[in-house]
Amino acid sequence: MNRAQDSDDLLPDLELGDVLRQRPLGLGSVRHVVRVSLAVTVSFGIALFLSKSTLGIFAPITTLLVVQASPWTTLGMSIQRILGTGIGVLVASVWVNLAGLNWWSFTIGVFVALLVARALPWSIGGQMQIPVAVIFVLALGPGSLTADLWRVVDVVIGGVVGLLAVFVYPPRPKVEPFETALANYRDGIAHLLRLVADESGTHATPLDEGVRHGYVAESRGLRALADKARAELIRLVESAHWNMRAKGVDEQFDGQAARLRRLTGIGIQVRGIVGAASRMYDREDQTAMLSVAELRSLVDGELELMSVVLGPLGEPVHGTDRSLADALVLDLGETMRTMTDTIVDRRGEGTLAAVSLVGRFDHIRQQLAEYPGWED
């Protein structure tokens, strides 16, 4: 397996254009709140000392908005804030001094600001900096261009202080949120497999056409769990970019992405099993060529193998016994081959569907046999 190729499409590129699409991550930990509070205070003090603006609030407000939990995200928010506010303040200053302040000049100014913001390939937070700055200037009314320029300078001061607050001693990237999201995804997959085994073939009367088993609705939740794990992986990679405290953490990214890639492949097959089982069992016009007992034995075997390769439910995703996993992979493969031969010998109308269902279980077995992370 080429691990780099297995993880390429899961890891962010972190190119310059991506930094302009960064979004705020929230306040996070108490330590981050302390960092933001100190940075805002320093920004306010510098603005009072250096700025000649009549309102020295742009610097601390800028710092408050740009300081994030990672250097990369802070850089993105700073660039968006400085450029957006600079564009908005300068254009609005020229406009309000030419047209004055009245209802139609205010409407035109805000409308044009929104059009300009809409055209920029930034995050919504960065785009909104332009109309917000325009409203600030228009609300204050006509004034000198020098005063408006000092407002821009205040924004630059706030952005620089925000960058220094994170880049000088950045927070160390946290792997735990990704590991938790990965474990939740694994638990969701195992839970769904168990639901398939527990419900299939248990309805006293056949299900009407178009009515699906309860586990079909449950299966839709796997997509959200997968997206959450991907989002946490991206956040982890971004938090380590240009972070001097990320040594050792950044060396794990390819392996973490490969683990998520394999788990995603297993999740896709389980969703396929959900659809196939719902069509096969508890139907009036179809006799399942794979018996309920055989289905449950496959689920039990897969869940046992998953517990060894991916760790027990509720615990981090990590293998526990490599030799036992290898033995279970061989035993389960032999069981599936024997089961497939039995299905073919039955020669029923649903033979192909049953063999295909066993094939999905076999694909999961192979994904588990090749699952990375044992060396971690």
Question: Over the stretch 141-187, which tens digit does the pLDDT of each residue have?
Answer: 666 677 777 877 888 888 888 878 777 777 777 888 989 999 999 99
Answer whether residue 4 is part of any domain: no
In sign, the C-alpha dihedral spanning 272, 274, 280, 285 is: negative
Tell me what the pLDDT averaged over the chain comes to: 83
d(CA 106, CA 337): 75
- Domain containing 323 equals 190-369
Res. 5: pLDDT tops 80: no
- What percentage of the chain exceeds 90 in pLDDT? 29
H or E segment at 21?
A: none
For the whole model, what pTM was predicted? 0.78
Q: Are 359 and 216 in the same domain?
A: yes
Q: Are 23 and 133 in the same domain?
A: yes
Q: Are 363 and 307 in the same domain?
A: yes
Q: Which of 156, 115, 107, 126 is nearest to 21 (CA)?
A: 126
CB half-sphere exposure, 23, CA atoms < 13 A: 6
Amino acid at 229: A
Q: Which residues of 76-94 are buried (b: 16+ CB within 10 A; e: fewer)?
A: bbbbbbbbbbbbbbbbbbe
CB-based contacts of 248, cutoff 8 Å, min separation 6: none
Q: Which of 81, 79, 88 is nearest to 110 (CA)?
A: 88
Q: Are 39 and 128 in the same domain?
A: yes
Q: Are 199 and 213 a contacting pair, CB within 8 Å?
A: yes
Q: Are 122 and 212 in the same domain?
A: no
d(CA 56, CA 366): 63
pLDDT tens figures, 311-339? 999 999 988 888 999 999 999 999 999 99
Answer whether residue 1 is part of any domain: no
Q: Are 292 and 245 in the same domain?
A: yes
Q: Are 297 and 351 in the same domain?
A: yes
Rounded mean pLDDT, 208-234: 89
d(CA 206, CA 11): 46
Answer whether residue 330 is part of any domain: yes
H or E segment at 73?
A: helix 71-99
Answer whether residue 172 is part of any domain: no
pLDDT tens figures, 270-310? 999 999 999 889 888 777 788 899 999 999 999 999 999 99
Q: Are 133 and 31 in the same domain?
A: yes
Answer whether residue 376 is part of any domain: no
Answer whether residue 176 is part of any domain: no
Q: Which of residues 113, 135, 167 is at a domain's end?
A: 167
Q: Are 335 and 201 in the same domain?
A: yes
Answer whether residue 174 is part of any domain: no
**Total structural domains in the chain?**
2
H or E segment at 177?
A: helix 176-199
Rounded mean pLDDT, 22-30: 66
Answer whether residue 375 is part of any domain: no
Q: Are 320 and 234 in the same domain?
A: yes
Q: Which of residues 167, 201, 222 is at a domain's end?
A: 167
Q: What pLDDT score does 31 carry?
A: 75
Q: What pLDDT score does 20 carry?
A: 61
Q: Which of residues 116, 136, 167 is at a domain's end?
A: 167
Q: Are 169 and 35 a contacting pair, CB within 8 Å?
A: no
Q: Are 103 and 35 in the same domain?
A: yes
Q: Which of 322, 309, 290 is nearest to 364 (CA)?
A: 309
